[in-house]
Amino acid sequence: MKRITFVFLSSFLISSLLFAGNQNKDQQNTEETLLNGLKSNNIGLQVSSAVMLGEIKSENAVNPLTEVLRNSEDTRARKAAAQSLAKIGTERSLYVVKQAIRFNNDENVQNICKILIYGRDKIKKETGQEYLAAK
């Protein structure tokens, strides 16, 4: 049952992103739906929502993603939050990922954060291009 709910909600979220007619209002609705998904008890929905918020580079998601990164009991959700925060790429979101390197109690999450921050800096230095930049 959980799997069916997850598939249905994931399909809804993805279709919301792909078939936006009135872009501003639909994007806002999509963003709100994804932000609500972060609050779900369903880890799959939480992870999917976090990933999609990173894809749309939602600056409104920085605080909720920070909460997931700091407080979620699930490593997958914390990793997805870290990746999305790095992809959003604001000063605040990158600061949160840098702080997770030092303060997150999960070594796997710390390692992902190191890759996201130091890999990003290295790629920018070597190529002059932003890592995870919009295409």
Tokens describing residue 45: 């929905």
* 57 within a domain of the structure (yes/no): yes
The answer to whether residue 135 is domain-embedded is no
With beta carbons less than 8 A apart as the criterion, state whether 47 and 54 touch: no
Note the pLDDT of residue 57.
Answer: 95
d(CA 44, CA 50): 10
Q: Which is higher by pLDDT, 24 or 52?
A: 52
Whether pLDDT at 49 is above 90: yes
Cα 73–chain centre separation: 16
130 or 82, higher pLDDT: 82
CATH number at residue 74: 1.25.10.10
The larger pLDDT score, comparing residue 133 to residue 77, is at 77
Q: Range of 75's domain?
A: 2-127
C-alpha span between 28 and 131 (Å, rounded): 26
Tokens of 58: 């939602």
pTM assigned to the model: 0.75
If one counts the domains in the chain, the total is 1
